Amino acid sequence: MSRRILGACAVAGHAALAIGAAGAQPSLPPITVTAPAAPVRVLPPQTIVTIDELVDRQPRSLADVLRGIAGVTVRANSRGETVARIRGAEERQTQVFLDGAPLAVPWDGRIDLGLLPAGLIGDLRVVKGAAPIEYGANTVAGVVDFQTRQSSQGSFAHLEAGSRGSGSGSAVLAEKLGPIDLTLAGGGITRDAEPLAGALPFNQISNARRTNTDLDASSLFAALGTSIGDVRVRASVLRVDSQRGIAPESDRPSDAGVRYWRYPEIALTQATLNLAVALGSRSEIKAVAWHQDFGQTIEQYRDLSYTTLRRTQVDDDSTTGARLTLTHDLGPVHLRWAASAQSSTHRQVETDFPSARAGPRLTYRQALYSAGVEADARIAPGIRATLGAAYDAVENPLTGDKPRQPSLQAGAASGALRFDLGDGAMLTVSGGRRTRFPTARELFGEALGRFALNPDLRPEQAWLVDAELQWGRYGLAVSVNPFLIRSHDTLAQRVLADGRRQRFNLAGATSYGIDARIAHDLAANLRFELSGTLLRARANAGSAPVRRLPQRPSFEGLAVIDWNVAERFDLRAELRAVGKAIDFDAGGGRVTLPAAAELALRAAIPFARLGSHQLLLTFAVDNVTDAQIFPQAGLPSPGRLWRVGLRFD
């Protein structure tokens, strides 16, 4: 399968080169349905990563795109999914969007960002704090908002191979063909195993290759957009197929509830329709509709040999949703109305072995609703404000063989003030209240006997406050963002006497810290960047056996030196440091996750041109020193990995 993936990407790459070399024509502006920036609008802290920065980092997947952004942590969870966290919040509190449509599977509230190729993405925005109302319910910690490539960003292709049987490739044809804006993309990611840095005490066969961490993933994407008068429309389809293993926990023996799982099949199809209609110079209607089909098979084995099945679970999910926004002026105020609705159905069948007798087909359904309004206004010269309020609700009309759940509602509010301090300085103060409802899996999922249900789970609520100071002049850009998050009923896990885990609501928790970034042009072709987060996260006294929240490093930092000499080379060195954290062992006891640091090196050397485009040789080494890093107990990050490839820009 690996050879087929990379071969297909190579063929697609030749097509992108041939058509891309013909030259691009003027293209349509993107239809930004989720929280577009505007001069009159004040947004909470956000980080925008442009397409040039994306290419510079040589990412393989969407997960790699997010690494190193201040306030964002990327890690593999216990199910082997690569997920993103904002400011230490749980991954379900961080919503992920693609072209305005939620990308996560609603049953679980998560998406594996390690399965999608990075070449598909045109730009990225990470919103931290009280997210704008367009993003709807459940955006407690923030938002990761991906936008796919369009013709204005040009075609792209890359193909690479590396150690431990790893490889990746993607090709994107993004062109303007008359009135049509066309994007076609294909990609693949493969590996035989993740490299291992250092010995592990349990459930490890080799000292070099992490057990059961193979991966094969492929994706296809197509989009067509056009403009007819004041109407712009874009339709797209994404298909992802993959299979992979899940590393067993290495900090506990096999009789302590170790997860011996494999995913022989994962398939996601998502169709999205974006529409924008201009009603005047300051009024517009925007809409996005989406339909997602998701299916997966989970195989649970009895031991490390992965030969004898204990149980299988087959999941089938179908989701349909839409969002509508209307913006217009009302006197001196600019108003923005937003409403969204989504319904998701999950079907599940479990089969026990050796009897191979299938259990009942259980069906669950959850519906989310959100509606709100924001107002932008100029308060005084150099001072602008945005105020918003929203109403969110959830229903669970189908609950399988579990007891019915009541409908839940919650209000949301936010406000932001921006002060133009002059001399390139800007101060933004923002805050608000947001709610996340438990997912259907948190309410009803037993994860093949791993979890005991808690039918009394309540929605998570958070009050968020941010102050962001930005300054930039003379090739120097500085951003400092202190923040405070006061949470109520945050979901946590505890270990029961029988070894199963159970979710429960903490009475409350407080997180505070600072996100910061400095970027300085040391010379015309030499750039230095330093970014990071300091974080302190604690549960209320008496609400948990250990007050310090697990898997929240005390700090994360990234230092980058980028030396780019046009037409000759681009060299990049990245040093990432992670502070101490804690986690819990199989019995619920506290363990310390030590501080660590890893070094990565990147190089790109152009060697040929096709018109205005370049062909480059690329080289990369991840975790050069083979450092052992533990984002959570028993599940280390990969060790040293080298990559060599070709890239077309």
Q: Which of 357, 352, 437, 423 shows the shortest CA–CA distance to 139?
A: 437
Instruction: Note the CATH architecture for domain 2-648.
Output: Beta Barrel (2.40)
Q: Given this model, what pLDDT does residue 72 score?
A: 93
Q: At residue 367, what is the residue type?
A: A
pLDDT along the chain (649 residues), means of 10: 44 41 48 70 91 87 91 89 90 93 94 91 92 91 92 91 96 93 96 95 93 97 94 96 96 90 97 94 92 97 95 97 95 95 97 94 97 95 96 96 92 96 94 94 87 89 96 92 94 85 90 96 94 95 87 96 93 97 89 97 94 91 97 94 95
Element (H, E) at 12: helix 2-20
Number of other residues whose CB lies within 10 A of the CB of residue 322: 15
Q: At residue 318, what is the residue type?
A: S
CB under 8 Å to 308, separation ≥6 — which residues? 301, 302, 353
Number of other residues whose CB lies within 10 A of the CB of residue 4: 12
Q: Given this model, what pLDDT does residue 21 score?
A: 40
Q: Given this model, what pLDDT does residue 28 score?
A: 56
Q: Transcribe 521-571 into DSSP letters.
A: EEETTEEEEEEEEEEEEEEPTTSSSSSBPTT--SEEEEEEEEEEETTTEEE
Q: Transcribe 113-167 into DSSP letters.
A: GGGSBGGGEEEEEEEESS--GGG-TT-SSEEEEEEE--GGG--EEEEEEESTT-E
Q: Given this model, what pLDDT does residue 306 score?
A: 96
Query: What does each C-alpha distance from 511 to 464, 533, 541, 554, 578 come to in angstroms?
Result: 10, 12, 14, 11, 17
Q: At residue 82, what is the residue type?
A: T
Q: Given this model, what pLDDT does residue 231 score?
A: 95
Would you call 62 helix, strand, or coil by DSSP? helix
Tell how far CA 203 is from the center of its chain: 29
Q: Given this model, what pLDDT does residue 465 score?
A: 97
Can you give the residue ranges of every domain in the chain?
2-648
Cβ atoms 430, 447 nearer than 8 A: no
Query: What does each C-alpha distance from 388 to 134, 173, 309, 335, 477 come to in angstroms?
Result: 11, 39, 52, 10, 30
For residue 113, what are its two tokens? 């960002």
